[in-house]
Structure 1
Amino acid sequence: MTTTAQAPLWQPYCGAAPDPAHWLAHWNWDPVLLAVLAGMLGVGFVMARARAWSQLGVAATMLVLFVSPLCALGSALFVARSVHHLALVLVVAPLLVAAVGQAAFPKLSLTGATVIQTAIFWLWHVPAFYERAMSADLVFWAMQLSITISAAIWWTSLRRAGTMEAAAGVLAQMVQMGVLGALLVFAGRAFYAPHAHTTAAWGLSALEDQQLAGLMMWVVGGGAYLLIATVVLWRALAPSAEPRSA
């Protein structure tokens, strides 16, 4: 299949895949997205002014992911898309919980939340579902929102869990992220058709791009969860500061 034949099929929300010489000029000035972000900030400022910094953090991260040239880079490279997905679960989701409060999310056990988040994350990395998201805007946003909201529910459940349950839940996330990353690294073939003709300009084959994405999930994503588990256990084991008696 030639690039010419492929071009009309994949019409990602972030626009056509850019080349290295021009990708920094590929900003996504979607008026609907900008209006939604502005509206959310306005409502948040009126209803929960105390959480303004978290709300600004969510909006700023969304601007980086979906307005800046990083958005278009995700059309060219699967490794850039993996950065997007990690940012959603590790940055946007906990900021969202802080911005709107834990009460906005359903009360689930950490085990249930972990299963749901893992299932949704893996679902969108099934080639057929990923390809659909890269060719239809509504499906693309279904991907982004489901990954983010399921991760936010997981973060909420994590905060409500006991120490050992929290550590186990974080380690489970580390394992599932590592397994998915390893699968992408050692698959031996490229899975994702939308990137079959977009990586060569960047000096990568589609398989190399996929392997880099797998390493990003395995090393960076898994490492982030390991760090979180370490912090959880360290806080639990650290002696509490108690005032000394006179």
Structure 2
Amino acid sequence: MLLPLLHTCPTCPSVLGITLYPPSLLLIAVPTIVYTLALRRLAQRGRPVPTSWVIAFYAGMLSALIALAGPLDTWNDELLTMHMAQHLVLIQVTAPLLLLGRPVQVILRALPPQRAGLVTRLLLRPIWSRRVLEFLTRPLVATGLSILALVVWHFPALYEEAVLRQSVHDLQHVSFFGTALLFWWPIIDPVPRHHRVSGLWASLMVFITAVASTVIGAILTLADEVLYEPYRYAAMPWGFTPLVDQQVAGLLMWIGGGTLYLVIILVLLARWLLREEGRRMASEPAG
């Protein structure tokens, strides 16, 4: 049985599973074009950026395309599993990859010094803006906000509204992605200001978020009834039933998302231990 090409935006055309929803396409196209032009200008000046930045940014934009305009978005009204995958991609893949691409650094480097200084002053000169940014990117605050968004949006009433109304769905995406950027910011430190948390703190942040995510996934997996009403009556492909779909979505969040978080924790801990060992060896007297 073929997946029906339906979406909460019924007037938006769909081509080969790609939903031509203008806001999503603009949010993907505009940053990609600006980043590309910035890279080109830096290359012309003989100031190329690390290849790892470029790969991370374009990989992040590709994941955003798949999540916001690709099959995960086109078919998330029919399968909770697709909807869950969409959110996990935005939170666990797109957000950290884009920050690893250092778009703020790349764009500011590409601007003439006067303009770059003007932009920086406009954004950071006001004391209130600096304090707000510093507060939102504190490890505990950023972690708390990301967990709050995750928990609140999985209440049936709000989740059902997001499935049925495009404006609420857009708000859901903004809150998930925005809090994900805040969460990953102090871990990645995309604009170096010596605010990056230690590997131990970063691991703790990821662990706490992983626990919250896996609890929600477990609830969905182990529930003996369909929790989200719109999926109870959706025309499901592949012989799925609404309850099986919910269980698969829960497992995706529980096992899939949890495994990715575990890998990230191990990487962060390994980097922290290696760094600490390097500092210890550097502090030991020679001979």
* TM-score normalised to structure 1 length: 0.81
The alpha-carbon deviation at position 140 of structure 1 amounts to 1.0
Q: Residues 61-210 of structure 1: matches in 2 within 5 Å? A: 61-99=63-101, 100-101=103-104, 106-107=133-134, 108-159=137-188, 160-198=196-234, 200-210=236-246
The alpha-carbon deviation at position 52 of structure 1 amounts to 4.7
CA distance in 2, matches of 1:32, 1:214: 29
Q: Number of residue pairs matched?
A: 229
Deviations 1:99-152 (A, max 9, x none): 434899933221111110000011111111111111222211111111011011
CA distance in 1, matches of 2:243, 2:19: 27
CA distance in 1, matches of 2:200, 2:139: 11
Extract unaligned runs of 5+ from structure 1: 1-9, 17-22
CA distance in 2, matches of 1:24, 1:34: 13
Asked if the contact 2:217–2:253 (Cα under 8 Å) also holds between the matched residues in 1, the reply is yes
The alpha-carbon deviation at position 11 of structure 1 amounts to 6.2
Q: Structure with the greater relative contact order (CA < 8 A, sep ≥ 6): 1 or 2?
A: 1
The aligned counterpart of 1:229 is: 265
Instruction: Give the superposed CA RMSD.
Output: 2.9
Of 39, 55, 58 in structure 2, the residue corresponding to residue 56 of structure 1 is 58
Structure possessing the higher radius of gyration over alpha carbons = 2
The alpha-carbon deviation at position 53 of structure 1 amounts to 4.1
Asked if the contact 2:7–2:76 (Cα under 8 Å) also holds between the matched residues in 1, the reply is no
Residues 1:53 and 1:202: Cα distance change in structure 2 (over 3 Å): same
Paired-residue identity, %: 27
CA distance in 2, matches of 1:236, 1:36: 35
Asked if the contact 2:218–2:250 (Cα under 8 Å) also holds between the matched residues in 1, the reply is yes
Asked if the contact 1:28–1:67 (Cα under 8 Å) also holds between the matched residues in 2, the reply is yes
CA distance in 1, matches of 2:239, 2:271: 45
CA distance in 1, matches of 2:7, 2:59: 29
The aligned counterpart of 1:3 is: none
The aligned counterpart of 1:7 is: none
The aligned counterpart of 1:35 is: 26
